[in-house]
Structure 1
């Protein structure tokens, strides 16, 4: 059976090595399952302590996607089959891995070619050099499957300007490379045709000095040679409109504005339609989570997300969203609530409460690691 994650060590001219990680589940758009999460976490920990490894290069097989998210279909099926511990096991593995990348003590280059969504967003967000290419499409479309922007999304989206993070959470809007660069979700744009050259240059570099500077010099060289090819940013174009809509005093007013929006812009129209047809429960908890976590540390955000994500699977809309979008593919989800006003405060409190028997399910989630 083909390995779903490939690991390679490339020798450099200075006697060091670049650790190359390739997500290799092309048929599923490199969706992350528990085995992949374990492999990634174990090897990254090993390479962090290996003095020969000076840099990590994270990429994916195929041209369509870096990573389209977590394998929520398998997760949902596990719960249907009676394994109610599966959500805690899966999300704990995923968030620990994401946190490790955020706090990694060696430079990490993430080559985000193609689709970058959900769990792929989580892998990329912590990298030092977050590369988008001419084919990159980034989004947090969890509202369409009954989840919310997790994988540290509460921390990341809260730090975007003009409440664009809230807009992303409610609309699942698709970002092109220019959008990702404008928002700082990516920090380098490089044409995908340069990928092999980037790896060759990393091998040819002298890593005897500051490793972050060496990695930066290599990546920046190819970014400079790609500068003229960046597309037009839809987020920049609609920033003021987004800020006005998302700046309303409550979620009902925001949804009302989205409903009343008249536009001939297909990007805006798609974003609005997702907000109005996605899970009302997801919209409410995404809005609430962003409020609650506004001043939280990254570690605190991952801990609160773990509780919320477990509950989304066990008593939220995720199973129905997965059925409608990924299993039966009828695109007719029967959400628990048809509109956000139906979601009670008691239900919200229940979604944020630790699952029964796990009063502190996050006690071993994340160790205190700092660079």
Structure 2
């Protein structure tokens, strides 16, 4: 086969190239499991912007270098340091551009295929879960671990996890994933609505080669398998669905935990997991999910998430969670408050207040990052998200 690779560009941690009719964006920060920095976000946006009007590029592939991860999320250690040094000004700029990138991917005029191989957490879902074609593999471990570090699921997670109408079967699977902060395999990724199909890792190279010349739907259909055929087990959420839908209803996180504890050993195990997370982050996450279910677009959800991200990042639990999980690694965070029973409605509501430097506003149409800096500030911070 003739080598059609052209226009190869490399910036720090991002490689872009064209292979036939396929534009390829490769995250290459393997020492950090391809975790996103601000420069990486902007480089990805630059590539998407350049290809949207390039007729030679018919579809785009997002993947990660190495075998371990597509992307383990954002560089939260750097974000926590920024909060301590600047009050989160740099973090705010990062989130503005990251969320704009998430929305750009969702509304991109050409097919975007995301290979969700290996670890795909937080921000990794943000650059893959909004793609038009989301490919899990037998190595996929996907999830939103934010409550583990005193933070909240963002990057459009509240939108992705609430697309099943309240009361319908499976409506609370996303709630369970967000409040527990656990990782899930490929079958559960599809059930959660974070992935579309599964392709065995052994056929990924074939898929990429097909995408150079074939329509995305046809290329994927040629290699995709049922989720159960790609892994040794069928996943766990399908078997828990009735329990989850019964236990995770309502707006009271403490009541959810109580129902789980009373439901038997399986539910008690999930309750014990949630009890280890930041109580305030759990309560705020639940409220964010409930609000997202009533919103009309991904952009509205991202605007609300921006408020929550900025406000929660300024609270003690964010720094403490990162210390316990990623710096000292003693896995013994001292949460404030220490239990769900101590979380008040006022504490939760405060996290939805306008962001310190003004709210995020994303157009629901031609989405792109501006050439010379982060998204412009709104004229008022009093508009509702």
Q: Same fold (TM over 0.5)?
A: yes
- Per-residue CA distance 1:4-24 (angstroms, 9 max, x = gap): 01111112xxxxx21011110
Aligned counterpart, 1:240:
242
Question: C-alpha displacement at 1:333, in angstroms?
Answer: 0.9
C-alpha change, 1:249 and 1:150, in structure 2 (3 Å) is closer
If the length of structure 2 is used for normalisation, what is the TM-score? Answer: 0.86
Structure 2: gaps of 5 or more residues = 1-9, 165-169, 368-385
Does the Cα contact within 8 Å between 1:162 and 1:239 map onto a contact in 2?
no
Find the aligned partners of 1:142 and 1:303 in 2 and give their Cα distance. 18
Which structure 1 residue ranges, 4+ long, deviate > 6 Å from structure 2?
none
- Per-residue CA distance 1:216-251 (angstroms, 9 max, x = gap): 001110014987334312000111111111125632
Find the aligned partners of 1:143 and 1:225 in 2 and give their Cα distance. 31
Question: C-alpha displacement at 1:125, in angstroms?
Answer: 1.0
C-alpha change, 1:347 and 1:122, in structure 2 (3 Å) is same
Aligned counterpart, 1:347:
347
Find the aligned partners of 1:234 and 1:147 in 2 and give their Cα distance. 25
Aligned counterpart, 2:47:
43
Does the Cα contact within 8 Å between 2:138 and 2:200 map onto a contact in 1?
yes
Does the Cα contact within 8 Å between 2:120 and 2:141 map onto a contact in 1?
yes
Does the Cα contact within 8 Å between 2:200 and 2:225 map onto a contact in 1?
no
3-state SS of 1:81 partner = helix
Find the aligned partners of 1:226 and 1:352 in 2 and give their Cα distance. 37
Aligned counterpart, 2:372:
none
Q: How does 1:1-371 map to 2 (within 5 A)?
A: 3-11=12-20, 17-160=21-164, 161-205=170-214, 214-224=215-225, 228-230=229-231, 231-248=233-250, 250-260=252-262, 262-263=264-265, 271-296=270-295, 297-315=297-315, 317-356=317-356, 358=357, 360-363=358-361, 365-366=362-363, 368-369=365-366
3-state SS of 2:59 partner = strand
- Per-residue CA distance 1:88-108 (angstroms, 9 max, x = gap): 111111100100001010001
If the length of structure 1 is used for normalisation, what is the TM-score? Answer: 0.89
Find the aligned partners of 2:313 and 2:250 in 1 and give their Cα distance. 30
C-alpha change, 1:191 and 1:98, in structure 2 (3 Å) is same
3-state SS of 1:7 partner = strand
Does the Cα contact within 8 Å between 1:29 and 1:68 map onto a contact in 2?
yes
Find the aligned partners of 1:28 and 1:271 in 2 and give their Cα distance. 29
Find the aligned partners of 1:279 and 1:99 in 2 and give their Cα distance. 28
Question: C-alpha displacement at 1:369, in angstroms?
Answer: 3.0
Report the count of equivalent residues.
351
Name the structure with the higher helix share: 1
Q: CA RMSD in A?
A: 2.1
- Per-residue CA distance 1:44-65 (angstroms, 9 max, x = gap): 1111121111010111011111
Does the Cα contact within 8 Å between 2:308 and 2:351 map onto a contact in 1?
yes
3-state SS of 1:238 partner = helix
Does the Cα contact within 8 Å between 2:41 and 2:101 map onto a contact in 1?
yes
3-state SS of 1:53 partner = coil
Structure 1: gaps of 5 or more residues = 12-16, 206-213
Find the aligned partners of 2:337 and 2:80 in 1 and give their Cα distance. 20
3-state SS of 1:58 partner = strand
3-state SS of 2:97 partner = helix
Does the Cα contact within 8 Å between 1:5 and 1:24 map onto a contact in 2?
yes
Aligned counterpart, 2:376:
none
Question: C-alpha displacement at 1:168, in angstroms?
Answer: 1.0
Does the Cα contact within 8 Å between 1:99 and 1:366 map onto a contact in 2?
no
Question: C-alpha displacement at 1:314, in angstroms?
Answer: 1.4
Question: C-alpha displacement at 1:28, in angstroms?
Answer: 0.5
Find the aligned partners of 1:302 and 1:49 in 2 and give their Cα distance. 26
Find the aligned partners of 2:87 and 2:253 in 1 and give their Cα distance. 34
Find the aligned partners of 2:78 and 2:205 in 1 and give their Cα distance. 34
Find the aligned partners of 2:57 and 2:64 in 1 and give their Cα distance. 20
